[in-house]
Amino acid sequence: MIHISKRKEMPMAQAAAIRLGAIALALVVCGIITAIVTGLNPIKVYASMLNGAFGSQRKIWILLQETAILLCVSLALTPAFRMKFWNLGGEGQILVGGLAAASVMIVWGSRFPNPVVILLEIVAAIAAGAAWALIPAIFKAKWNTNETLFTLMMNYVATQLVAYFVIKWEVPKGSGKIGIINQSTEIGWLPQLGGYKYLLNILLVALLTVGMYIYLNYSKQGYEISVVGESTNTARYVGIKVERIIIRTLIISGAICGFAGLLLVGGTDHTITTTIAGGRGFTAVMVAWLAQFNPAVMVGSSFLLEFMGRGAGEISTAYSLNHSFGDILTGIILFFIIGCEFFINYQIHLSKKGKEAESGV
Amino acid sequence: MSDRQPAVRMRGITKEFAGKVVANKDVNLDIYRGEILALLGENGSGKTTLMNMLSGIYYPDHGSIEIDGKHVTIGSPKDAFDHGIGMIHQHFKLVNVFTAAENIVLGLKDKGKFDLAAASERITEICRTYGFDVDPNQKVYNMSVSQKQTVEIVKLLYRGAEILILDEPTAVLTPQETDKLFAVLRNMRDDGKAIIIITHKLNEVKDISDRVVVLRKGEYVGEMLTSESTTEEMTTMMVGRQVELNIDRPRPVNPKRRIRVHGLTVRNSEGILKLDNVSFSVYSGEILGVAGISGSGQKELLEAIAGLQPVEIGSIEYVNDDGTIDQLIGKDPLEIASLGVALSFVPEDRLGMGLVGSMDLTDNMMLRSFRDGISPFTDRKAPKELAEKVVEELEVNTSSIETPVRRLSGGNVQKVLVGREISSSPTVLLTAYAVRGLDVNSSYMIYDLINKQKANGTAVVFVGEDLDVLLELCDRILVLCGGKVSGIVDGRYTSKKEVGLMMTKLGGGEG
């Protein structure tokens, strides 16, 4: 007979062992499925996965850059999530941030000197992202509307907005896209550090991670966020103005999403498309949850997701498999990682029914 | 008695949590039909855990359970039910938008087609047999706490429960409702059911039970026949030593008017009148008790004074030591504090309002004071010292001050909350149901703390539900009835009967 009960607490080491065990088990299951379905040697498949992520210096840089952007978006969502405000609008907030940066580059690129353009770009991207999050925040604070739906819908508005401007500013006419902005002058492009294209982004996000960790855990505002997230009644009881905290926190959340949009448009892509956010607004939800809203752990969880995504892409090209096969492997690994939380929170008892009854007094 | 066949026979029951906390150790317990058994013990003595094993919520690590002489394995609430065991928990498990009848039949897999009318008839039949008062068609969200509890009991009887466990059933009831509950429990006993009631109100144990079993620190320490024992004997067995069961009531020293409430009228968010033209004063160095049937406006009264409840009309004045007056209405808790008014509030909902369950003791100590200083960062040094002090002085039972308060037992949670609230040396202390769910020891410690505040010249407002305590502790008692002040009486010269009448009828007059 199986009996399930909730655990009270588990030592850190034991929980870590369960998580590592889950990953190991996931790799074994993936290997078996790979062997059965494709007939390939799973070890070789794993090797090419590693190769896809770490195979060359360029691949490593791209992996780090992608991790940084995903981490940036996850950090943006975290303060809202800690407050139990489910900001699913990361996608839209990145888009409007990127759009604002692109607009500055296009409209003011030839009017101001480069440093001024970059400064305007940063301000515009952050302000746009913040504004995009502020709208649902105000509605939540004043009328308690459902933030999940509201932020989600704002994504579609943002996509359409970008689509409109892409057509308006398309280069060349009729191509339906904006090419590289200011390609010849490079005005409004964020500077490259030491000749490395991605280094600046990575360093900025690293700083942001440390800053967010300190903000959430050691600042008075971070403490207020935790109190509001746990109980708005308690917050009111100690005189915290809940509406203000909701609005303030969402401005921060949206601003960082807008900043991610800036890094994408100003730092790496130098153009804007409707798909520039690339689903990161949603992947970041998973990153944040996997890390239980701890910015330090998010470094690991965003790296893991990016690594698996890139590895999966590599094996589908290397073995000319359908891209979905990579997704299957990613899905299995995530299933085990998330599923193992069950064993950390719950205990399973297998009772020896017959034996116990006989030994009874 | 031992020659009878027990309905339930638990032998050598042991239960550990997370491999270290022993909740029950080698407990033996017999439960007979036609008997009301009181399971008595302090907080954390393992009463509820033991009963949860009988009702299938937990599974014992060791030991055996027999029902009517047959060995059984109870692995789920459904298993328990198949053996006729049903438990009423402290928190009701009802669907609010369903009627009583719908809740009662919910989840039953009767053969044939779903027939609510027939079910209602059977429910009415059960109610007639035992003297319940339930309207099968009433929606749960329209019910009082006592009615919901009745539905829970009828639900068990409808499903054929023979062994009923009630976990602190009177904690949420008025004296009148308690009497009603006890009357039906007696009827059920006379009908041959086995009834177990978990409680630590000794008066009620005396009143309702036939036999008392005492647990201490998870172990069985003894049992006695209620008719042959005194409450003192029960307490001694429960606590393990002699306990003084008297509450001190020194005369207020140099009382001065501290708070003056005048014409206070409050509507809740649905527009229902909760306080109607309430006027009274609270003096320094006194304890003003507030009595009333639950929901008579006690919550709104305290929250209005604390700045948490919008007020329709009326005034709440705070009288400073120098005679100047501050109006508290229209100010939030922060603004009230910034006037220099040291107002502390121990709310009814400890973990939902007074504390943050997922935070540790230090962070909870910081709730009131985290804004101190100009630094944008929190300073955890003072709160940590306060947490250590509260743990030591109030004997809070916790593994460390890093434990989330949610993991503490009810009594310890309350000590943490009261400890924080009195740490700021308040001039006004508001408490709502300060000892609800607390055991004897913790309760008396809380009374003691409140009395110390009184001796320091604090004006204490004590909203209570146990009239015996109100009559022993309070200098004056304000009785609320339907949001109006039914009267204010002197705690030293009034009687339980007088206050009880005032609770149900304005002015309390007979005619």
Mutate to test the interface with A, among B11, B15, B16, B59 (most CBs of A within 10 A): B59
| Cβ B426 vs Cβ B458: under 8 Å | yes
Residue B332 backbone phi and psi in degrees, to 5: -90, 170
Mutate to test the interface with B, among A82, A223, A345 (most CBs of B within 10 A): A223
User: Per-residue confidence at B511, pLDDT binned at 50, 70, 90?
Assistant: very low
Asked if B257 is an interface residue toward chain A (Cβ–Cβ < 8 A), one would say no
Residue B297: give the domain boundaries: 257-342+425-508
Spatial distance between the Cα atoms of B463 and B448, rounded to a whole number of angstroms:
16
Q: If you average pLDDT over residues A181-195, what whole number do you get?
A: 88
Q: Confirm whether B250 is domain-assigned.
A: no
- Taking an 8 Å cut-off on Cβ atoms, the answer to whether B363 and A223 are in contact is yes
Q: How far is CA B421 from the centre of its chain?
A: 20
Is pLDDT of B186 > 90? yes
> Which stretch of A333-337, B264-268, B305-309 has the lowest confidence by average pLDDT?
A333-337
Q: Which chain B residues are closer than 8 Å to A224 by Cβ?
A: 370
pLDDT in tens, B267-325: 988 888 999 999 999 999 999 999 988 788 999 999 999 999 999 999 999 999 898 99
Q: Confirm whether B350 is domain-assigned.
A: no
Asked if B339 is an interface residue toward chain A (Cβ–Cβ < 8 A), one would say no
- Taking an 8 Å cut-off on Cβ atoms, the answer to whether B21 and A221 are in contact is no
Q: How far is B113 from chain A (nearest CA, A)?
A: 32
Is A41-318 CATH 1.10.10? no
* DSSP code for B270: T
Spatial distance between the Cα atoms of A199 and A60, rounded to a whole number of angstroms:
12
In this complex, the residue of B17, B352, B368 whose CB is nearest that of residue A231 is B352
pLDDT of residue A8: 66
Q: If you average pLDDT over residues B413-439, what whole number do you get?
A: 90
Mutate to test the interface with A, among B356, B358, B398 (most CBs of A within 10 A): B356
Cis amide bond preceding A172, omega within 30: yes
B134 and B172 in one domain? yes
pLDDT of residue A166: 93
> Which stretch of A95-99, B300-304, B329-333 has the lowest confidence by average pLDDT?
B329-333
| Cβ A267 vs Cβ A190: under 8 Å | yes
Cα pseudo-dihedral B84, B88, B89, B91, rounded to 10: 140
User: Could you say which of B377, B406, B424 is where a domain stops?
Assistant: B424
B119 and B196 in one domain? yes
Q: If you average pLDDT over residues A201-222, what whole number do you get?
A: 96
B179 and B211 in one domain? yes
In this complex, the residue of A10, A230, A359 whose CB is nearest that of residue B356 is A230
* DSSP code for B141: G
Residue carrying the six token digits 């009960």: A5
Q: How far is CA B432 from the centre of its chain?
A: 10
Q: If you average pLDDT over residues B460-466, what whole number do you get?
A: 91
Q: Which chain B residues are closer than 8 Å to A233 by Cβ?
A: 349, 352-353
User: Per-residue confidence at B509, pLDDT binned at 50, 70, 90?
Assistant: low
Among A258, A219, A307, A309, smallest CA distance to A96 is for A258
pLDDT of residue A153: 96
- Taking an 8 Å cut-off on Cβ atoms, the answer to whether A234 and B352 are in contact is yes
State ipTM: 0.83
Spatial distance between the Cα atoms of A312 and A324, rounded to a whole number of angstroms:
9
B145 and B54 in one domain? yes
pLDDT of residue A360: 35
- Taking an 8 Å cut-off on Cβ atoms, the answer to whether A239 and B334 are in contact is yes
pLDDT of residue B151: 92
Asked if B18 is an interface residue toward chain A (Cβ–Cβ < 8 A), one would say yes
Question: What one-character-per-residue DSSP string does B339-391 give?
Answer: TT--EEEE-S-IIIIIS-TTSBHHHHHTTTTTT-SS-SB---HHHHHHHHHHH
| Cβ B459 vs Cβ B256: under 8 Å | no
Residue carrying the six token digits 């997370």: B18
Is pLDDT of A131 > 70? yes
Q: Which chain B residues are closer than 8 Å to A3 by Cβ?
A: 59, 75-76
Q: Where are the beta strands (DSSP E) in B201-349?
A: 211-216, 219-225, 257-267, 273-283, 287-291, 313-319, 325-327, 343-346
Spatial distance between the Cα atoms of A277 and B88, rounded to a whole number of angstroms:
52
Query: What residues form DSSP beta bridges with B463?
Result: B290, B432
Mutate to test the interface with B, among A3, A213, A226, A234 (most CBs of B within 10 A): A234
Q: Which chain B residues are closer than 8 Å to A351 by Cβ?
A: 59, 73, 75
Its pTM stands at: 0.80
- Taking an 8 Å cut-off on Cβ atoms, the answer to whether B354 and A353 are in contact is no
pLDDT of residue B3: 60
pLDDT of residue A13: 84
- Taking an 8 Å cut-off on Cβ atoms, the answer to whether A5 and B58 are in contact is yes
Q: Mean pLDDT of all residues in chain A?
A: 89
Name the H helices within B159-250: 175-190, 202-208, 231-239
Residue carrying the six token digits 């049937």: B293
Two tokens, residue B79 = 């298993």
Spatial distance between the Cα atoms of A161 and A155, rounded to a whole number of angstroms:
10
In this complex, the residue of A220, A233, A360 whose CB is nearest that of residue B11 is A360
Spatial distance between the Cα atoms of B73 and B55, rounded to a whole number of angstroms:
11
**CATH number of the domain enclosing B497:** 3.40.50.300
Q: Percent of chain B, pLDDT > 90?
A: 49
> Which stretch of A242-246, A307-311, A333-337, B41-45 has the lowest confidence by average pLDDT?
B41-45
User: Per-residue confidence at A351, pLDDT binned at 50, 70, 90?
Assistant: low
Q: How far is B12 from chain A (nearest CA, A)?
A: 9
Query: What residues form DSSP beta bridges with B24?
Result: B15
Q: How far is B335 from chain A (nearest CA, A)?
A: 8
Spatial distance between the Cα atoms of B178 and A345, rounded to a whole number of angstroms:
38
Nearest residue of B to residue A7, measured between CA atoms: B18
pLDDT in tens, B74-85: 888 888 988 999
Q: Which chain A residues are closer than 8 Å to B59 by Cβ?
A: 3, 5, 349, 351
pLDDT of residue A245: 96
Q: If you average pLDDT over residues A322-349, what whole number do you get?
A: 83
B300 and B177 in one domain? no
Q: Confirm whether B245 is domain-assigned.
A: no
Q: Percent of chain B, pLDDT > 70?
A: 96
Spatial distance between the Cα atoms of B272 and B266, rounded to a whole number of angstroms:
8
In this complex, the residue of A9, A230, A361 whose CB is nearest that of residue B358 is A230
In this complex, the residue of B59, B307, B367 whose CB is nearest that of residue A227 is B367
Q: Which chain B residues are closer than 8 Å to A231 by Cβ?
A: 351-353, 356-357
Q: Percent of chain A, pLDDT > 90?
A: 60
For residues A236 and A361, which has the higher predicted lDDT (pLDDT)?
A: A236
Is pLDDT of B222 > 70? yes
B130 and B23 in one domain? yes
Task: Give exposure, A274-292, as e/b (b: 16+ Cβ within 10 Å).
Answer: bebbbebbbbbbbbbebbe
Helix or strand run (H / E) with residue A225: helix A220-230
Q: Which chain A residues are closer than 8 Å to B356 by Cβ?
A: 226-227, 230-231, 234
Per the structure, the count of domains in chain B is: 3
pLDDT of residue B19: 56
pLDDT in tens, B352-391: 899 999 999 999 999 999 988 889 999 999 999 999 999 9
Is pLDDT of A2 > 80? no
Is pLDDT of A356 > 50? no
pLDDT in tens, B93-117: 889 899 999 998 887 776 667 788 8
Q: If you average pLDDT over residues A108-117, what whole number do you get?
A: 91
Asked if B363 is an interface residue toward chain A (Cβ–Cβ < 8 A), one would say yes
- Taking an 8 Å cut-off on Cβ atoms, the answer to whether A3 and B59 are in contact is yes
Q: Which chain B residues are closer than 8 Å to A356 by Cβ?
A: 64, 73
Q: How many CA atoms lie within 13 A of A86 on its CB side?
A: 11
CA distances B475 to B235, B253, B284, B460, Å, are 26, 12, 11, 10
Residue carrying the six token digits 């006890």: B182
B273 and B183 in one domain? no
Two tokens, residue A76 = 């943006």
In this complex, the residue of B18, B73, B376 whose CB is nearest that of residue A1 is B73
In this complex, the residue of B64, B363, B376 whose CB is nearest that of residue A219 is B376
- Taking an 8 Å cut-off on Cβ atoms, the answer to whether B17 and A8 are in contact is yes
User: Could you say which of B209, B239, B269 is where a domain stops?
Assistant: B239
CA angle B365–B370–B375, rounded 5-degree value: 145
B197 and B74 in one domain? yes
B472 and B441 in one domain? yes
B410 and B274 in one domain? no
Is pLDDT of A359 > 60? no
Is pLDDT of B139 > 80? yes
Q: Which chain A residues are closer than 8 Å to B73 by Cβ?
A: 1, 351, 353, 356-357
B335 and B220 in one domain? no
> Which stretch of A73-87, A94-108, A164-178, B319-333 has the lowest confidence by average pLDDT?
A164-178
Q: Which chain B residues are closer than 8 Å to A1 by Cβ?
A: 73, 75
Asked if B407 is an interface residue toward chain A (Cβ–Cβ < 8 A), one would say yes
What's the burial of B139, exposed, middle or buried (CB within 10 Å: 0-12/13-18/19+)?
middle
Cα pseudo-dihedral B206, B210, B215, B219, rounded to 10: 160
Q: Which chain B residues are closer than 8 Å to A211 by Cβ?
A: none
pLDDT of residue A357: 39
Cα Rg for chain B, rounded, in angstroms? 24
B87 and B219 in one domain? yes
Q: Which chain B residues are closer than 8 Å to A241 by Cβ?
A: 332
What's the burial of A71, exposed, middle or buried (CB within 10 Å: 0-12/13-18/19+)?
buried
pLDDT of residue A45: 83
Asked if B77 is an interface residue toward chain A (Cβ–Cβ < 8 A), one would say no
User: Per-residue confidence at A355, pLDDT binned at 50, 70, 90?
Assistant: very low
Q: Confirm whether B419 is domain-assigned.
A: yes
- Taking an 8 Å cut-off on Cβ atoms, the answer to whether A1 and B370 are in contact is no
Among B473, B465, B463, smallest CA distance to B500 is for B465
Asked if B342 is an interface residue toward chain A (Cβ–Cβ < 8 A), one would say no
Give the A:B interface size as CB pairs under 8 Å: 95
**Per-domain boundaries in chain A:** 1-40+319-350, 41-318
Nearest residue of B to residue A230, measured between CA atoms: B356
Q: Where are the beta strands (DSSP E) in A108-172?
A: none
Nearest residue of B to residue A348, measured between CA atoms: B59
pLDDT of residue A361: 33
Q: Report the 10 Å Cβ neighbour count for B419.
A: 21
CA distances B216 to B24, B42, B58, B439, Å, are 9, 7, 19, 12
User: Per-residue confidence at B438, pLDDT binned at 50, 70, 90?
Assistant: confident
